[in-house]
Amino acid sequence: MRLGWHALAIALATGSHYGTASGAKASAVHKLSDKAFDAWSDAQELALVKFFAPWCGYCQAMAPSYEQAAVALKKDGIPLAEVDCTKESKLCEELDIPGYPTLKVVVSGDYVKYNGTREESGIVDYMRRHKQAALPEIAAKSFDTFKESANVVAVGFFGRNTAEHGVLEEVARELRDEYTFGFVNDRTLAKAQGVPAPGIAVYKDGVKADIFTGAVISESVIRFVRATSVPVLGELSSQTFGNYIRAGVPIGLVFYSTDAMRKELETQLEGVARDFKRTVSLALVDARIYSKHAKMLSLAPTWPAFAIQDVAQHTKYPLPQPRPVSEAELRPFISSFAEGRLAPYYKSEPVPATNSGNVFELVSKQFNSVAFDTSKDVLVMFHAPWCIHCKRMAAAYEALGAAMRQYPALVVARMDGTANDVPSHDAALQVSGYPTVVLVRAIDNRIIAYSGNRSIESLTDFLRLHATHSLGASDAQQIEVEHVQPAYDVISNHDLGFSPKEARHIEL
């Protein structure tokens, strides 16, 4: 939190109006300045702040709904405020506001992400829900209704003043936008539910799904709730993929091509899925619809097939084909993954026999040794053979490579992103479109994304600004290159049916 100012500043900076200057109607939305911001925020038990720019079309469209929500929430004691980032640019930079409009929930001076909608009803419902206790106490007589009140309900069986209560309350505050939480202080009910008291259980659609075991610490309970939120050997599709992502557990994808094959795999692998559910979430995937997903996991179109996808680490572990997808094969395979003995698979072209051109032809097998060489600055362009923008940039990039050969501590490289996986967990190297150009700096290996145009002048200026080793003052050779704004071919996801945001996780 930034250092606060005296509360008097609030009165000087939060008076606001909307409408015309003459006879303007008082607005329910507080207008915050840099000086008033900290004092106002620290004084709020619960509030919502919108960061906007007057020229932003989305902000303009949202303004009436935000004003109406502010009026509706007045009686609940939940104030709404806004910050004009064109006037308070320093404040918005300090708070790292990524775009407009950005909404943040204020909880006793601290800021948390807003995950609601931009409509009046969505804002009002979201903020009223956050005013309620994150972990309410549920009476025994209301338990059956409560456990059926949402798709996923986590229930603690303990008293209010216990260590377990404190932990689950902390978890509930963090996950309240995703799941429903409550606690029951009734040992008789706990025994009837088969839950040791104190204990925690997760109910899915009103049915007990699992009971937490182990030390009751926040990180473990969060992993437990999320892992239990997805079904044991459920169906993975464009509709359910987001649930598996939010669960935060690596996914074991079982591809089938016929209904009979699906039924057989479901029967054979249910026990494996239950035994490893907190390590890998096994899910069935229809290869007739999602064959491209299987290809991205480096699986040949031979079914059934299996691969583990660790979304958080951007890694994949395909079961070598043609090994059968059976309980006997999957148990040791998943065990090796869980124990850290299984190496991730990275698709790669062969290492070139010679590499003496102006641009170094990079492949996955040698990516880390070349790109992360701490003695050199390495510029890498990820491209695709079908990408028209890559083809238009090729001449300038080739000329850049020729001009930079005089600097032995600089490597200009390119890699075909369709034929090679990036063997790195770094999010800055997860390519979502072509061309993507990044600089891996010498010494610290810091990764900096290029966002200029396709000209050699722009590329050279980028290197002069960011490379660790000096390029000198002389200009790079000039060639005639079209000066345009950056162009980008986004990787197509139509065959998958996943959203672009989700596709960034699956296109390994």
Identify the three-state secondary structure at position 172: helix
Q: Which two tokens stand for residue 218?
A: 């926040």
d(C-alpha 186, C-alpha 336), whole Å: 41
Residue 182: which of 171, 192, 194, 193 has the closest Cα? Answer: 171
- Please provide the DSSP assignment of 186-219 as one string: -HHHHHHTT-PSSEEEEEETTEEEEE--S---HH
d(C-alpha 390, C-alpha 383), whole Å: 6
d(C-alpha 416, C-alpha 434), whole Å: 10
Look up tokens 């008293």; give the residue: 159
Phi, psi of 141 (to 5 degrees): -70, -20
Query: From residue 56, how far is each of 51, 52, 101, 150 by CA, in Å?
Result: 11, 7, 8, 36
Catalytically annotated residues: 56, 59, 387, 390
d(C-alpha 452, C-alpha 382), whole Å: 15
Residue 359: which of 389, 391, 392, 403 has the closest Cα? Answer: 403
Query: From residue 442, how far is each of 78, 318, 364, 377, 431 by CA, in Å?
Result: 50, 33, 19, 5, 21
d(C-alpha 381, C-alpha 393), whole Å: 10
ω into 435 cis (within 30 of 0):
yes
d(C-alpha 222, C-alpha 227), whole Å: 8
Q: Which two tokens stand for residue 436?
A: 């993507």
| Angle of helix 218-229 versus helix 163-175 axis, rounded to 10 | 50
